[in-house]
Amino acid sequence: MTAIVWERRRAAAWATWREFASHRGGLVGLLGLGAIALLALLAPLLTDQTGLDVTRAPGRPFEPPSGEFWLGTDNTGRSVLLLTWWGTRVSLVVGLSATVLSVLIGTLVGVAAAHFGGWTSALLMRFTDFFLVLPSLVLAIALSTVLPRGLGTIVLAIGATSWPATARLVRAQTLAVEARPFIERAKALGGGHAHVIGKHVLPAVLPLVFVNTTLTVAGAIIAESTLSFLGLGDPTQISWGSMLHAANVHGAVSQRAWWFLVPPGLGVVLVVLAFTMCGRALETVLNPRLKGER
């Protein structure tokens, strides 16, 4: 019996993949992400980490691109190419961890708010609504100012402020699933909370959560770059945001040091765009309501 079930699941997964692959945007996004992730992973093997050390900067400040420094140097004379390459790691790690935190909180709150009913869920929903309206960047700024600087703080600040959107989505989806008669049937069969949530609600909600996750990563990476740009990042780590922070503080704009400005920003745009394209393609595949649209 289980063999048949597994075969069916494999077939379903394959069909989902085939449909996803038919969206050119999603496929391009996925390939882009794969390439960027690979580069980020291989950075320690392909590059020399000592070039990141300010005290051992190989060039002069604000050198334009040349044969030696393909993308010029920053305000301390380090290679912008090297910095951007290594910045990928921090931006991706922070974006992904913050998303995991955010999606976890959001899913728990969303399912709880929809499933149990009564005043606890009403309270949970008010709480969610409150945080949904609150400008998340302002809250994240407050959190990262009062907490000690570090990657952990950034992850916490982004994760703890970006969950309400997920919570609302999950709640709406849970409510939609629970309104379906098969939930009534499961209850009439004698199924309790654990059965209803585990067998019916979560399997139906998780695909949407997955879609939402890819879109949340995009938001989290922008948020990371913004916080770091404002100088709230980890001062010991190089990320795209912290590079732009340095560029802004040290007058890259007035010096017309475009080579210092363009690469880190372009990195953000490419990664965010790739995640967004993947997410949108997934959304059309997994969200039956959107079939045939977009």
Partner 1 sequence: MIGHLARKLGGALASLVFVVVLGFFLFRVIPGDPVVAMTRGRPVGSAQIADLRARLGLDKSLGEQFLDYLVNAARGDLGTSYVYNRPVADLIGERLWPTVLLVGTATALAVVVGLWLGIRGAWRRGSRFDRVSTGVALTQWAMPTFWLGMLLSMATGDLFPTGGMRYPDTPPDFLSQSLDVAHHMVLPVITMVAVVYAQYLLVMRSSLLEEMHADYLVTARAKGLRDDLVRRRHAVPNALLPTVTLVFLHLGLVVSGAITVETVFSWPGLGLLTYEALTGPDLPLLQGTFVVLAGAVITMNVLADLVYRVLDPRVRAA
Partner 2 sequence: MSPLLELRDLSVHYGGARGGTAAVKSVNLALDAGQTLGLAGESGCGKSTVAMSVLRLLPRDARIDGQVLLDGEDVRTMSWGRLRAVRWASASIVFQGAMHALNPVHRVGEQIAEPMRLHGTKGSVSELLAQVELPPRVERAYPHELSGGQKQRVMIAMALACSPRLVIADEPTTALDVVVQAQVLALLSRLVTERGIGLVMISHDLSVLAATCDRLAVMQRGEVVEEGPARSVISAPTHPHTQALASAFPVIGDPAFRYVTESAPEGPVLLRAERVKVDFGSTTAVAGVDLEVRAGEIVALVGQSGSGKTTLARTLLGLQKPTSGRVLFDGRPLPSSSAGLKDYRRQVQLVLQDPTSALNPRHSVYESVAEGLRIHRVPGDEGQLVAEALNAAELRPPELFFPSLPHELSGGQRQRVVIAGALALGPRLLVADEPVASLDASVRGEILALLLRLRRELGLGALVITHDLGLAWSIADRVVVMYHGEFVEQGPVEGVLLRPRHDYTRRLLAAVQPFGSV
SS3 79: strand
What are the structure tokens assigned to 83, written together? 């910095």
Q: How far apart are CA 261 and CA 65, in angstroms?
A: 12
SS3 73: strand
- Report the candidate in 227, 273, 238 with the shortest Cα–Cα distance to residue 43: 238
Residue 231 near which of partner 1, partner 2, none (CB within 5-8 Å, type-dependent): partner 1
The reply to whether 293 sits near partner 1 by the rule CB under 8 A is: yes
Which residues fall within 8 angstroms of residue 59, CB to CB, at 6 or more apart?
A: 68, 69, 73, 77, 78, 79
Residue 30 near which of partner 2, partner 1, none (CB within 5-8 Å, type-dependent): none
- Report the candidate in 289, 285, 200 with the shortest Cα–Cα distance to residue 15: 285
Which residue in 198, 203, 235, 251 binds partner 2 (CB under 8 A)? 203
Residue 222 near which of partner 2, partner 1, none (CB within 5-8 Å, type-dependent): partner 1
Residue 37 near which of partner 2, partner 1, none (CB within 5-8 Å, type-dependent): none
Residue 145 near which of partner 2, partner 1, none (CB within 5-8 Å, type-dependent): partner 1
Sites for partner 2 among residues 255-284 (CB under 8 A)? none
Q: Token pair 């499933």 is at which residue? A: 115
- Report the candidate in 25, 104, 13, 63 with the shortest Cα–Cα distance to residue 284: 25
The reply to whether 226 sits near partner 1 by the rule CB under 8 A is: yes
The reply to whether 252 sits near partner 1 by the rule CB under 8 A is: yes
The reply to whether 1 sits near partner 2 by the rule CB under 8 A is: yes
Q: How far apart are CA 101 and CA 160, in angstroms?
A: 7
Sites for partner 1 among residues 144-163 (CB under 8 A)? 145-147
Q: Which residues bind partner 1 (CB under 8 A)?
A: 126, 130, 132-139, 141-143, 145-147, 218, 222, 225-226, 229-232, 241, 244, 247-248, 252-253, 256, 258, 261-262, 264-265, 268-270, 272-273, 276-277, 280, 289, 293-294
